[in-house]
Chains A and B, each alone.
Chain A
């Protein structure tokens, strides 16, 4: 067994407890590094690091003025230098094994929701990467999900500025079919990999709210 993050071998003592536990593909030092949360005030809604602790940060207030808010936003890892590196390797060098590492950090009661919906990737990104980075993590965590959203967006989000993201038309649409039309009255969880400005998630929610779900929350692996 090797650690999928640092590739060193994991040697674990075999005792009664470890013998019957599923072995995790991450060594202790790496797990410690990746679980670190920077100290400081945080926005009570999107968990962004802010100078002064408050219920909603300017970003959230701005989004609330333009979009309908989700019920809550859950964030699993702090976007530290190490986590940044993790996502860079996972998304841009195509180190797909890291989906198992990220899956280890999902602490969320998925059972409270009727449906988990990952943010889709465009055809261009799919051709480049070969996988949807969000649903791959959900699969590694053994969380059932439904692909009811699709996108025709071409440019990479991380290359766009905030204004460009906001003025662009909503790139998401709901796939035809039973799943989308059965959203009414359901509790829905929208899952995204990295929450930067929040515009992506809010645009996806805009489409989902048209189907009148009972509640919609957001789960994001990390908050930039």
Chain B
């Protein structure tokens, strides 16, 4: 079923139970995420859910309406410019098997393994069998990028695109959307693929994994994809359904981060560009390469950016609320910007050629982020390795764990 606001038959008399504080749409039951006000128009108090208000308000005075799921097969051909590597092909076969067996799957793959292409065959097969397919991710950037790639590969299919503020829908048979949008689907999809399952806010919000469960039909397959699985994801898929991919598609090793023991906050507070950072950036630019500098906080980045730009003209910075965000990423991509300071928003979903990475304040990042950040380098066949430096004041478990995960990947092992 698909929850629609204005049409369809009544599924629940009201979206929110005002006495128990439960949202029937997103199953939120934490009282602080409800808002109550007196409505003169309705003549009563109105309670609505703040967790899912962005996809249309669910409240105590409006019924939830649904339309029923329709299933219809289509030929669903796709095309790929290259052939899958042996490891990719093996993983693809496993997912196809899981689809026939209606079992879930956890695809535990190194960054830059070519995960998206691995699921093409399963998507095509599911659509030929009439199952509805969803490709979801917690990150809007990933959703947009995947929609472009899928539209390029599945040229004859109508692919829905849904995220806050954007709605391009056909018949809800093949949907690319953010995880939050799944709150509107019940028992609808035969195949759900979740990309970047470890990304915020899915990592901290168990409710979202429940939404995936509810959106999936009774006999269905959910594929979780991640480079850093946690226990919850393994439980979700079942330990016997974990498929691992430890090699990148081009077969080269991941670069191992070099740790430099240096804090930068003291220098930055004194309006000085830290000498270590300056040396590293100079070295990178001399080799004709580009660099992403990851900074833990926006406030620190605002102080650091003018210092870097004074030494390296054209150095720019980007963060999630930045209105020129996409323009700045584009100018990094085509080489106009060669030094870009960023928060964790560029930790996934971006590919730049000839890129090196510096992480300042590495002691404040967690290992999920650090693994993703390291995964930004060496994503192209003609530049398969790259360099990574961590600038840290002191060692942390997360830094040690990141290096262990990467070394294990290179040795063909996984770190569970």
In angstroms, how far is the closest chain B Cβ from the Cβ of A93?
6
Contact of A2 among B33, B46, B57 (CB under 8 A): B33
Q: Bound state CA distance, A2 and B40, in angstroms?
A: 25
Contacting B at CB under 8 A, from A81-107, are 81-82, 89, 93-97, 99
Number of interface residues of B (CB under 8 A): 20
- Chain B: minimal CB distance from A117 (Å): 17
Question: Is B35 within 8 A of A97, CB to CB?
Answer: yes
A131/B57 in contact, CB under 8 A: no
Among B42, B53, B323, point to the contact of A130 (Cβ < 8 A): B42
Q: Give, as a whole number of angstroms, the nearest-CB distance from A37 to chain B.
A: 15
A4 contacts B by Cβ under 8 Å: yes
- Say whether A68 faces chain B, with CB atoms less than 8 Å apart: no
Residues of A within 8 A of B76 (CB): none
Bound CA–CA A94/B59 (angstroms): 10
Max chain B C-beta neighbours (<10 A), residue from A33, A96, A99: A96
CB-CB nearest in chain B for A29: B298
Query: Restricting to B297-342, which residues have a CB under 8 Å from any CB of A?
Result: 321, 323
A72 to B37, CA, bound (A): 33
* Per-residue interface assignment for chain A, residues 1 to 43, with 1 indicating a CB less than 8 Å from any chain B CB and 0 otherwise: 1101001010000000000000000000000010000000000
Q: Is the CB of A131 within 8 A of B53?
A: no
By the criterion CB–CB under 8 Å, are A2 and B323 in contact? no
Q: What CA separation (Å) do A178 and B122 show in the bound complex?
A: 72
Query: Bound complex: CA of A97 vs CA of B323, how far in Å?
Result: 25
A93: B residues at CB distance < 8 A: 53-54, 56-57
Complex alpha-carbon distance, A99 and B323, angstroms? 25
Q: Which 4 pairs between the two chains have the least Cβ-Cβ distance? A: A97-B35, A94-B57, A130-B41, A95-B53
Complex A-B: 21 CB contacts under 8 Å: A2-B33, A2-B50, A4-B50, A7-B33, A82-B321, A89-B53, A89-B54, A93-B53, A94-B57, A94-B59, A95-B50, A95-B57, A96-B35, A97-B35, A97-B37, A99-B37, A126-B41, A130-B39, A130-B42, A130-B61, A131-B39
14 other contacts beyond A81-B323, A95-B50, A126-B41, with CB at 8 A cut-off? A2-B32, A2-B50, A7-B51, A93-B54, A94-B48, A94-B57, A95-B53, A96-B35, A96-B46, A97-B50, A99-B37, A130-B39, A131-B40, A131-B41
A contact set with B: CB distance below 8 Å? 1-2, 4, 7, 9, 33, 81-82, 89, 93-97, 99, 126, 130-131
